[in-house]
Amino acid sequence: MKISFLIHNAYGIGGTISTTFNLAHALAERHEVEIVSVNRHRETPAFTLDPRIRLRPLVDLRHEKDHPSFGRPAKVYPRAEYRYGQYSELSDRRIGEFLAATDADVAIGTRPGLNVHLALQAPDRTVRVGQEHLTVENHPPALRRAMRHAYPRLDALTTVTEADAAAYRRTMRLPGVRVQALPNSVPDPSLPPADGNARVVVAAGRLVRVKRYDLLIEAFATVAAEHPAWQLRIYGGGEEHDRLRRLVDRLRLHNNVFLMGTATPMEAEWVKGSIAASASSFEPFGMTLVEAMRCGLPVVSTDCPYGPAEIVRDGTDGRLVPNGDRDALAAALLDLVRDDGLRRRMGGAALENSRRYGPGPVVEQAEALFTELAAARAAGRPAAQAPAGALGLAPRGYAARDTALAAAGTLLRTVRKAKR
């Protein structure tokens, strides 16, 4: 089949871009795949693209900012969407022209604004799949209203966690739309896994407040006091860099905590460590957790909404601690620092359990979904909802909570109808 991804800017750097490229690369093994980038700001993509995949830009920001339509506001792209200021009448028209002419069997939007375009403008012959890379709770009420208006014309909406799929079913009520978790995939490692001998804890991601690197550094101060040979290496760049540097200096951890800057790819840095750590207060998925586990590192993470509880099996391949609890984070790190055998056993379990996020298993799930959606569209009926956990993601943590709430809501509505 022919599969087309519609993305904001395939030439930049970011989680949505990398996960889109990962899935596209895996699908290209058996399908015709193209990535349609609304915007383009440079000659070549920052990430390597499989030569079998066609990359097509719609608006070239290097040459078209003087176009008369570029300065006029978008009308289809929802105003409440975070990226609205980067869209225009020109991008509205180019997206509409692309969708009207597409011969794709499956078209996939990668953010709410593009999902709205897809829902409203894709031809009837094309299966329409919207992706959610954040969470429904992330979006302001005005955007959710726009989504409720347009999304019922989608065939499916995929989320990266079961928790968010349950939240969508509970709060959005999209009749006839298949709402299903489809996790991000991480390529198979090319390096031997970590052996658990290095006295290094590794963390990675944007240096922003939601990642709570300050909490991680404070927790690691307890580790360093007991085990001064251990290091914490934090990879990434962002607005919090200077504040974190001052915190390291204030805690006198300059021999133990290092802000390493960005590293691409991260695989070579993960395998130099023995433990991965995350102190985020919110994670729609937790891509770095999967990357670390695929390199053989056990993970110590806060049990924040939504992803970690679905990725980490507490006590088996890592540890989950209460969100925002510095002392619990320090204690969990110390458990693995003190016990070489436990660290290695959990690292081995992490390597094995994270295989479910490899390209093969994820692509099999995507192909099964697309095939079901195509059959349903051809028959003129909506695709049946998949049961929670049907794709190998058992509803745990926030997913279990929201699945229970959704079930309770359905039961309550059934009882009310029976009383009428």
Q: What average pLDDT does this structure show over 28-57?
A: 96
pLDDT computed for residue 385 by the predictor:
79
Residue 132: strand pairing partners = 159
pLDDT computed for residue 396 by the predictor:
53
pLDDT tens profile 268-320: 999 999 999 999 999 999 999 999 999 999 999 999 999 999 999 999 999 99
Full 3-state SS string of 329-380 = HHHHHHHHHHCHHHHHHHHHHHHHHHHHHCHHHHHHHHHHHHHHHHHHHHHC
Instruction: Give me the residue label for tokens 């290095």.
Output: 198
Please check the confidence at residue 407 and state whether its pLDDT lies above 60. no
CA distance 223 to 416: 55
Closest CA to 126 of 110, 108, 151: 108
Q: Cα 290–291–296 angle (5° rounding)?
A: 90
Residue 219's CB is within 10 A of a number of other CB atoms, namely 26
Q: Where in the chain is the domain with CATH 3.40.50.2000?
A: 2-181, 200-357
Which fold does the domain 2-181 belong to in CATH?
Rossmann fold (3.40.50)
pLDDT computed for residue 397 by the predictor:
55
Task: Dig out the tokens for 153 from the structure.
Answer: 């014309």
387: burial class by Cβ within 10 Å (0-12, 13-18, 19+)? exposed
pLDDT computed for residue 415 by the predictor:
32
CATH 3.40.50.300 holds for 200-357: no
Closest CA to 128 of 152, 98, 158, 106: 106
CA distance 89 to 73: 5
pLDDT computed for residue 98 by the predictor:
98
| Stated pTM of the model | 0.86
Four-CA torsion 163, 169, 170, 175, nearest 10 degrees: 180
Instruction: Give me the residue label for tokens 């992330």.
Output: 138
- Asked whether the beta carbons of 280 and 211 are under 8 A apart, the reply is yes
CA distance 8 to 41: 11
- Which of the four pLDDT bands, split at 50, 70 and 90, describes residue 264? confident
- Which of the four pLDDT bands, split at 50, 70 and 90, describes residue 403? very low
